[in-house]
Amino acid sequence: MDSKKLTVGVTAYNVEAYIAQALDSILAQKTNFPFDILVVDDASTDKTPQILEVYQQKYPDTVKVIHSPQNYGNLHTLNTIFAHIQTPYFLLIDGDDYLLSPYCLQKEADFLDAHPEFTLCGGNTVRMRNGKLAERVIPSFKTQLVYTIEDYFNETCPYVHTSALMARNVVYNNGVPEAYIKGETTSDTLVYRGDTMRFLHHLQRGKLFIFSDAFSVYRIRSGSIWQGASDFSRLLKLTFFNLRCTVLFPEQKEFFARLFLWNYQKLLKCLCRSCCQKDALSATDRKIFIELLDLIARYDLDGSDFRRATSVVYKCWIKAKAYGRILMRQMQRIAKGKSGY
């Protein structure tokens, strides 16, 4: 282990307008312990790499930058960070977000030091819309509380933004799990690149505490991976994630199956709206959608008849966009005929 207590991992890709604010907010933290800042740049094509080099030269004992030789994607960036964590605790932040409180790292580390049964400690996050601070991510009545994995599956545990969440290094301390690595080259990148799987893996090993303080700012912008995606693309990724989790968490199959069906029906309606509006799916989304249909048949969660029906709808959408209204009526019949598992 490193002699330092904490690693702050920063993911960066084409964030020249924001990365300095992110790094300055970390460097401004008031702590009684040293920490590392590890930035992985995923082959940015703007001035992000040059800005990072300035910070690395100015703060050689704190800031370390890894430049990917090509754009591998977000999961590879995260895996690179996980592989280099040598400290007891870590916190992840995107290069376009920033820390709001100068004492949040100290406060979270103190809590984890005093409570070894906790693997996560977080605070609130403020959304930034159109350059202005807006609402908080977590309702105030859900803060200053302890949460467990059971609370997550009972749907009482709130979402904690990754930029405000410090974790005990108990998942990646013996290396990056093989599933994460394999996910870099398969559709499972949708499962492991987001913060939900990371959140669950830590909750399986301990508890979560959430402070009421606002620790960070989440910048909502069209150029980000999630906010910049279409409605269909976001629904597709959620649906795929929930379907895969029915296998990855067999003891919670019913929970994830219910979420899968809910999102899947919304996905199909969104597909038909795209058909009516003559929107085109990206090649990546088409590939993921076809794989999703194959997984439905393989997992036999919803029956082969439902899978064939949705496959027919998709093929019709590809071949004849003009039949949008007909497809919409067909989708409505499918949704009405399916009430659960």
- The domain that holds 173 is classified in CATH as 3.90.550.10
Please check whether residues 239 and 182 belong to one and the same domain: no
Query: Are 191 and 280 within one domain?
Result: no
When pLDDT is averaged across residues 113-122 and rounded to a whole number, the result is 98
Q: Are residues 156 and 211 in the same domain?
A: yes
| 182 and 87 in a common domain | yes
Where does a domain end: 181, 198, 220? 220
Q: Which domain covers residue 277, as residue numbers?
A: 231-336
Query: Do 171 and 75 fall within a single domain?
Result: yes
- Co-location of 102 and 201 in the same domain: yes
155 and 214: one domain?
yes
> How much is the average pLDDT of 35-54?
98
132-180 confidence digits (pLDDT tens)? 999 999 999 999 999 999 999 999 999 999 999 999 999 999 999 999 9
Amino acid 141: pLDDT: 97
Residues 125 and 255 in one domain: no
How many residues in the chain? 341
Mean pLDDT across the chain: 88
What is the predicted pLDDT for the residue at 261? 85
pLDDT digits (tens, 9 = 90+) for 175-224: 999 999 999 999 999 999 999 999 999 999 999 999 999 999 999 976 55
Q: Which residue has the tokens 């960036």?
A: 77
**Average pLDDT of 112-118?**
98
CA gap 203, 120 in Å, rounded:
7
Asked whether residue 115 is assigned to any structural domain, the reply reads: yes
According to the model, what pLDDT value does residue 21 have?
Answer: 98
Clarify whether residues 193 and 294 are in a common domain.
no
pLDDT band for position 232 (cuts 50, 70, 90):
confident
- In this predicted structure, what is the pLDDT of residue 225? 54
The answer as to whether 226 is a domain residue is no
Residue 202 maps to a domain: yes
User: For 15-19, 83-87, 229-233, which range has the lowest pLDDT when averaged over its residues?
Assistant: 229-233
Looking at 164, 188, 220, the residue that finishes a domain is: 220
Number of domains in the chain: 2
Q: Is residue 190 part of a domain?
A: yes
Residue 330 sits in the same domain as residue 240: yes
Inside any domain, residue 195: yes
Domain's final residue, options 169, 190, 220? 220
Residue 1 covered by a domain: no
| pLDDT attached to residue 281 | 73
Pair (200, 256) in one structural domain: no
- Is the pLDDT at 323 greater than 60, yes or no? no
Same domain, 115 and 47: yes
The model's pLDDT over 288-321, given as tens digits with 9 standing for 90+, comes to: 988 888 888 788 665 544 555 465 555 555 554 4
On whether residue 341 sits in a domain, the answer given is: no
- State both tokens at 184: 């870099």
